[in-house]
Amino acid sequence: MAFLTDEKLVIVGAGGMIGSNMVQSALMMNLTSNICLYDVFPPEIGPLGVAEEMRQSGFVDANITATADPAVAFKDAKYIISSGGAPRKEGMTREDLLAGNCKIAEGLGKDIQKYCPDVKHVVIIFNPADLTGLVTLLYSGLKPGQVTTLAALDSSRLQSALAKKFNVMQNKVTGAHTFGGHGEQMAVFGSAVKIDGKPLNDLIGTAEFPEEEWEQMKKDVIQGGSAIIKLRGRSSFQSPALMSVKMIAAVMGGEPFEYPAGTYVKTDKYDHIMMAMDTTLDKNGCSFKVPQGTAEEVAKLDASYEHLCKMRDELVTLNIVPEISKWSEINPNL
């Protein structure tokens, strides 16, 4: 079996539903021959069971290890995906999770700096991912292009909703992207969307797709996570797992990743923030362009940025991160 790499991939939170799915997905995609399952819970009540299930699934040519010791987990790690936060419960906003999960992100960043400063790429998916990713980046000492966050599900939710609405295969819906925060103030960009080659803009406001329906669809996309909780009786786990593994695959040099990623942004307009941009993930890590949109879309993106800035500033107040002026003392790359 040809693996994409033999470098070590660490799955943080591997005992959980998302983490265990990441492990399986990474193995099914033949990403690496060397995968380590890490969880803060004792490995006997999670990661070891997942590792054993993988062995029993017939992944016979990969080295699958499990540990609760960060020194063991992160030693020689070259790629990390972390779902190791507290889960979101029905009715909670991502923001409710802010303080607790950002403290976890601080710990993760410090572990990375301590045990694997040579890591190539880290994908953060625990919510609010824009903030946990930012905190991880800050404390890890890594470069901005080395830490990304899962933002893709907003875009794929929009793509799915449009495909269902217009009764086309989902791959006929192109350019359906959301940018900014992966939260309740995300910016849904519709102006670049095409439905089977036809601009969505030509359809909005017609009898087939009244303006109000489009507005409702955007709201539904923003609430897409809650919708899955209602439909499954639990929060989504397969889609965040698989999407984040696909992100790491792209950085390993595998299949290109087709959806936006959350990335550290530094432009004249936006700074000291992590949010979804028009990104490319490849062996050099993450690079981005600011997405082009209508004035209204850009205004939405600006509002999303402002919302994220407020949450970031809350982290300063909470003493989880220092004032921005001092960030470069912790991480000279910022």
Task: Identify the three-state secondary structure at position 292.
Answer: coil
Contact status, residue 305 vs residue 299, Cβ threshold 8 Å: no
Q: CB nearer to a copy of itself: give 37 or 104.
A: 37
Asked if 148 is part of the footprint of a copy of itself (rule: CB under 8 A), the reply reads no
Contact status, residue 140 vs residue 330, Cβ threshold 8 Å: no
Whole-number minimum distance, CB 241 to a copy of itself, in Å?
9
The Cα–Cα gap between 322 and 334 comes to: 13
Out of 4, 19, 24, 138, name the contact with a copy of itself by CB under 8 A.
Answer: 24
Asked if 20 is part of the footprint of a copy of itself (rule: CB under 8 A), the reply reads yes
Residue 96 corresponds to which tokens in the numbers above?
A: 């409710």
Amino acid at 306: E
Asked if 201 is part of the footprint of a copy of itself (rule: CB under 8 A), the reply reads no
Asked if 197 is part of the footprint of a copy of itself (rule: CB under 8 A), the reply reads no
Asked if 259 is part of the footprint of a copy of itself (rule: CB under 8 A), the reply reads yes
Given 121, 177, 182, 307, which residue is catalytic? 182
Asked if 60 is part of the footprint of a copy of itself (rule: CB under 8 A), the reply reads yes
The residues, ordered by sequence, that sit 6+ positions from 153 with a Cβ below 8 Å of its Cβ are 182, 224, 225, 236, 239, 240, 243
Asked if 21 is part of the footprint of a copy of itself (rule: CB under 8 A), the reply reads yes
Contact status, residue 71 vs residue 219, Cβ threshold 8 Å: no
What are the E-state strand segments in the chain? 8-12, 34-38, 63-67, 77-82, 121-124, 147-150, 173-174, 177-179, 187-189, 194-195, 198-199, 261-265, 273-282, 285-289
Amino acid at 259: Y
Number of H helices, E strands in the chain: 11, 14
Asked if 156 is part of the footprint of a copy of itself (rule: CB under 8 A), the reply reads yes
Asked if 242 is part of the footprint of a copy of itself (rule: CB under 8 A), the reply reads yes
Out of 2, 58, 91, 206, name the contact with a copy of itself by CB under 8 A.
Answer: 58
The Cα–Cα gap between 293 and 287 comes to: 19
Out of 129, 228, 261, 273, name the contact with a copy of itself by CB under 8 A.
Answer: 228
Q: Kindly report each contact of residues 223-227 with a partner whose C-beta sits within 8 Å and lies 24 or more positions away, as own/partner.
A: 223/184, 224/153, 224/154, 224/157, 225/88, 225/94, 225/153, 226/90
Whole-number minimum distance, CB 6 to a copy of itself, in Å?
13
Asked if 30 is part of the footprint of a copy of itself (rule: CB under 8 A), the reply reads no
Q: CB nearer to a copy of itself: give 239 or 279.
A: 239
Place of tokens 């991160």: 321
Asked if 193 is part of the footprint of a copy of itself (rule: CB under 8 A), the reply reads no
Whole-number minimum distance, CB 72 to a copy of itself, in Å?
17
Whether 182 is catalytic: yes
The Cα–Cα gap between 126 and 101 comes to: 7
Task: Say how far residue 248 (Cα) sits from the centre of its chain.
Answer: 10
Asked if 216 is part of the footprint of a copy of itself (rule: CB under 8 A), the reply reads no
Out of 236, 263, 279, 304, name the contact with a copy of itself by CB under 8 A.
Answer: 236
Q: CB nearer to a copy of itself: give 164 or 310.
A: 164
Whole-number minimum distance, CB 238 to a copy of itself, in Å?
5
Asked if 233 is part of the footprint of a copy of itself (rule: CB under 8 A), the reply reads yes
- Give the footprint of a copy of itself on this chain (CB under 8 A): 15, 20-21, 24-25, 28-29, 44-46, 48-50, 52-61, 63, 152-153, 156-157, 159-160, 163, 169-171, 173, 224, 227-228, 230-233, 236, 238-239, 242-243, 246, 258-259
Which amino acids are annotated catalytic?
182
